[in-house]
Amino acid sequence: MLSTAFLLQSATALIALFSNVRAAPTLNHLNDRAVTFDFNGDKVRGVNLGGWFVLEPWITPSIFQEWADNKQVVDEYTYTKTLGKEEASSRLTKHWKTWITENDFKTIKQAGLNHVRIPIGYWALSPLAGDPYVQGQLPILDQAIQWARSAGLKVLLDLHGAPGSQNGFDNSGRYGAIQWQQGDTVSQTVKALSDLSRRYAGDGDVVTSVELLNEPLGSSLDLNGLKSFYDKGYNAVKAASNNFAVVIEDAFQDFSTYWNGYGSGKADLILDTHQYQIFTPELVGKSPSDHVSAACALGPKLASTNKWTIVGEWTGAQTDCAKWLNGLGTGARYDGTFTGKGGSSYTGKCDGKNVGTVAKLSSDDKSNIRSYIEAQLDAYEQHTGWFFWTWKTESAPEWNMKDLIAGGLFPQPLNSRQHPGQCG
């Protein structure tokens, strides 16, 4: 006789399975349109919807707070493994339904933006046997596409986590060892991209682009193998729809030189680079004016690339003070409390920047953040455009675009300048 627990478990699994089912689009390339955003004539002005379908402890520390002392849970993998599928599914479904809402899409549009970048993990698309991850994200992502359509926004779909982890960061879903490119992980990633692209092949009026993989750590990977993966991923996306541009990451290689020889003959190819000036002691030790100068110097470099190039992640932060930004329970380089790789030395206090709101930042911090954001906007629009990281956080004011706009630190309208001419 089957137990009640077994029946409940089976029912839960079936619900998760069918929640991932969507009518497959008819793939008829004779009717394909061109990419529905003019990447040559218009600028991408966008924001990331971070912490939604891929957890990051620093964006939503309340989700991880119960493990703050023992570090048993540090990412989505250990979160779901520790809670078990039933409890993890219950908690995460509530989070997915509330963290980002239709009103956020409307507010983003009102702020003058034209794109959102939505991170998603492979486990939402093509879960693997033995994974602790839970599903149910896709019906909500379907709804998000409709919200974007109604608001007049475009969408970049970003595969943020790959099997085995492509970088060992918590934002890949699993913190620790980098095991992507081992075993079947690359082919599994291509399958996830194919599933993602086919699911939204009929939404080319909204979805302009698919990003093959977020932040592969090139220094720990076979770069020739990464290029081969990019070839396969490109083909998988284009096989689903010619309406999609395909986005590749620079893998932390020099975006202005290393990738200029890649992609000849590939239509609708976009290079993504992420620009943060905080993750080494040298960078976080820069003065506010040096941060501005470094941002301005990126403009000509971006303009020199031979393909569409976006800055897919950047921030108003000149410090790494945000609580758990460097990992759950980990300190900051800025105030000398970070003890991880590379170490740290004291630059300044994190008071008001580790947790809090934009309104409670010091007047100096407010002025420096506004100046830095303006410089980056001026630099990054010298080529294809940008996506700020991130739309909202629970408590990290330097990173919270929604709060930065409300506090007057993110220009409104976007071309308004309190510090004109910083980039010459």
Q: Which residues are known to be catalytic?
A: 215, 313
CB-based contact 273:248 (threshold 8 Å): no
| Contact criterion met (CB below 8 Å) for 346 and 336 | yes
Distance CA 115, CA 109 (A): 8
3-state SS record for the chain: CCCHHHHHHHHHHHHHHHHCCCCCCCCCHHHCCCCCCCCCCCCEEEEECCCCCCCCCCCCHHHHHHHCCCCCCCCHHHHHHHHCHHHHHHHHHHHHHHCCCHHHHHHHHHCCCCEEEEEEEHHHHCCCCCCCCCCCHHHHHHHHHHHHHHHCCEEEEEEEECCCCCCCCHHHCCCCCCCCCCCCHHHHHHHHHHHHHHHCHHHCCCEEEEECCCCCCHHHCCHHHHHHHHHHHHHHHHHHCCCCEEEEECCCCCCCCCCCCCCCCCCCEEEEEECCCCCCHHHHCCCHHHHHHHHHHHHHHHHCCCCEEEEEECCCCCCCCCCCCCCCCCCCCCECCCCCCCCCCECCCCCCCCCCCHHHCCHHHHHHHHHHHHHHHHHHCCCCEEEECCCCCCCCHHHCHHHHHHCCCCCCCCCCCCCCCCCC
Dihedral sign, Cα of residue 320, residue 406, residue 211, residue 273: negative
Q: How far apart are CA 391 and CA 103, in angstroms?
A: 12
Q: What are 308's strand-pairing partners? A: 270
Q: Compute the half-sphere exposure of residue 415: CA atoms within 13 Å on the CB side of its CA.
A: 2
